[in-house]
Chain A
């Protein structure tokens, strides 16, 4: 059945050519899907600003980047509302509320709950859960910011002089992506969609 459907295609381009076309289409669609996903989130009106403390390692494949840790990376779950029983590797939905110039966690859930008015939901994965202290370490997928070669150190020095914060765009399901970097509240890096 499939071979009959494919026959004219193979006759026209040959087996190798047909396979190359299929492979190119599949690869292009996959890469486009990654881009489309990021573009959708960057265009989202849901933006929160999170305080950060970066360090500067080097990624062997992808050059310089700044590692970003946030106040919401380590969550003391007894100090916030929501679900209290967790395990390593679980998906966690954290409710954020505005607090002065930044946002802080107020609750954590297993599912995507409707947040209180003015609050937002960010999605993460628990990378380590301390059962005795009920503390979770959470990855949100916004822990790296790639910078031009050699500029990571500069950013780190700037951080030592003043507070560094990150604008984070949130998708409908709480998926996060970095939209920009601020030092002293002023934007120093802004991410265009394209």
Chain B
């Protein structure tokens, strides 16, 4: 789907650029041909080979599960070592022949077989390996492979194994798993070094999955309820957003990604503040952490203002988001008021996000703002639906918002077009 959307936009842009004389019709056609077929076709063997290696890994695990009792123990041991050596040998052979996609598939197979072999030996010798340490070791071996080879598949495996480790360690130890950050930090450093954008997606995704998986123990550690922990997550996401802004000045590929994830998590967290959860459970540590995060957001964002990468209006929007999260323990637990305060703020911030995206020509922010606005309207509709009076109030409010929108949106559109034209002119 994304490829189709991208091609449609590229075709429109190329037509414009041909008209302006920046690109010749022949070059435009070559660009379109390359974009429409080349990339996808290039990636097919790689994807198929890696998927094949994953299937081989699953086959080995199922083979293990069948507990192949008929085969003598020594033969079983020879088989598992041979399989491991063959996989790595195949990776080496493929790399020497210049088949990098197949070499990557061999690396995935080698790493999968290493993990499967640990399980298999545990089965052969009846070792109770219900402790998660061996997954951590598996993860470190994948990281070492990613660094030494270097291999993106091994790096992706490191992220996945780090998450598997954290879920298992949490289940086993019932404590927040901080050891996750050892492989995660090293893997993220390597991702940046390899300049791998998809890897940064994995790094950010696994970071937030870690936060979600460890939420319960983090609440105990910090001394807060679920809503207040989400408020802290919103503040951390804001720090990530502002760091993304700063990074964008040197690396737009990574900076924009960091910004998008921060923006998404901050808004998703903010959307939950209107669901009041009854009591204020935040302790001193919560307030200390929240104030540190808010100060960091304020200082970093102000740095962006002085560097002329952020307007004062957008600085205000970010600070309102931060203040809304910091004041959540005080404002978020009052019957009725929580919805009123945070729903109003959320609607206002959604409109601001559209304006922020428009000013910066940031499509993700525009779409996120519009979706947040529409989603909030729908939520409010269901919240107020019940009595005729409430429904009437909702429609009246909706009407007012739409009329206001009809006045604001054309202005936003004009600014977007003007910004795009300025960009074209430069």
Interface set of A (CB-CB < 8 Å, partner B): 14-17, 19-20, 22-24, 26-28, 30-31, 34-35, 38, 42, 59-64, 139, 141-149, 177-178, 191-194
Establish whether residues B119 and A191, one from each chain, have CB atoms under 8 Å apart when the complex forms. no
Closest to A34 in B: B121
In whole angstroms, what is the CA distance A27 to B66 when docked? Answer: 24
Q: Say how far A187's CB is from chain B's closest CB, in angstroms.
A: 15
Task: Name the contact of B127 in the complex, choosing from A17, A34, A193 (C-beta under 8 A).
Answer: A34
Establish whether residues B65 and A23, one from each chain, have CB atoms under 8 Å apart when the complex forms. no
Closest to A16 in B: B95
Establish whether residues A26 and B141, one from each chain, have CB atoms under 8 Å apart when the complex forms. yes
B188 part of interface (Cβ distance < 8 Å) = no
Known: A144-B126, A177-B126. A31 touches B118 (CB 8 A): yes
Establish whether residues B88 and A20, one from each chain, have CB atoms under 8 Å apart when the complex forms. yes
In whole angstroms, what is the CA distance A178 to B127 when docked? Answer: 8
B332 part of interface (Cβ distance < 8 Å) = no
Please report which residues of chain B, range 110-163, place their CB below 8 angstroms from some CB of chain A when the two chains form the complex.
110, 114, 117-128, 130, 137, 141, 144-145, 148-149
Q: Which residues in A have their C-beta under 8 angstroms from that of B127? A: 34, 38, 141, 177
Closest to A150 in B: B67
Q: Which residues in B have their C-beta under 8 angstroms from that of A34? A: 118, 121-122, 125, 127
B364 part of interface (Cβ distance < 8 Å) = no
Establish whether residues A31 and B148, one from each chain, have CB atoms under 8 Å apart when the complex forms. no
**A-side interface mostly:** mixed
Most B-side CB within 10 Å, residue of A17, A178, A194: A194
Interface set of B (CB-CB < 8 Å, partner A): 61, 64-67, 69, 72-74, 77, 80-81, 84-85, 88-89, 91-92, 95-96, 103, 110, 114, 117-128, 130, 137, 141, 144-145, 148-149
Task: Name the contact of B128 in the complex, choosing from A61, A63, A139, A192 (C-beta under 8 A).
Answer: A139
Q: Which residues in B have their C-beta under 8 angstroms from that of A149? A: 65-67
Give how many A-B residue pairs fall within 8 Å (CB-CB): 114
Q: Which residues in B have their C-beta under 8 angstroms from that of A192? A: 72-73
Q: Say how far A51's CB is from chain B's closest CB, in angstroms.
A: 18
Most A-side CB within 10 Å, residue of B61, B88, B137: B88
Closest to A23 in B: B145
Closest to A20 in B: B92
In whole angstroms, what is the CA distance A145 to B67 when docked? Answer: 11
Establish whether residues B121 and A35, one from each chain, have CB atoms under 8 Å apart when the complex forms. yes
Task: Name the contact of A28 in the complex, choosing from B84, B118, B128 (C-beta under 8 A).
Answer: B84
Known: A16-B149, A146-B126. A24 touches B64 (CB 8 A): no
Establish whether residues B148 and A23, one from each chain, have CB atoms under 8 Å apart when the complex forms. yes
Q: Which residues in A have their C-beta under 8 angstroms from that of B96? A: 14, 16-17
Establish whether residues B128 and A141, one from each chain, have CB atoms under 8 Å apart when the complex forms. yes
Establish whether residues B144 and A148, one from each chain, have CB atoms under 8 Å apart when the complex forms. no
User: Which 8 residue pairs are nearest across A and B when measured between Cβ atoms?
Assistant: A19-B148, A63-B65, A148-B69, A38-B125, A194-B74, A63-B67, A16-B95, A178-B126
In whole angstroms, what is the CA distance A63 to B118 when docked? Answer: 14
Task: Name the contact of A194 in the complex, choosing from B77, B95, B123, B145 (C-beta under 8 A).
Answer: B77
Closest to A139 in B: B128
Task: Name the contact of B73 in the complex, choosing from A23, A147, A194 (C-beta under 8 A).
Answer: A194
In whole angstroms, what is the CA distance A86 to B67 when docked? Answer: 38
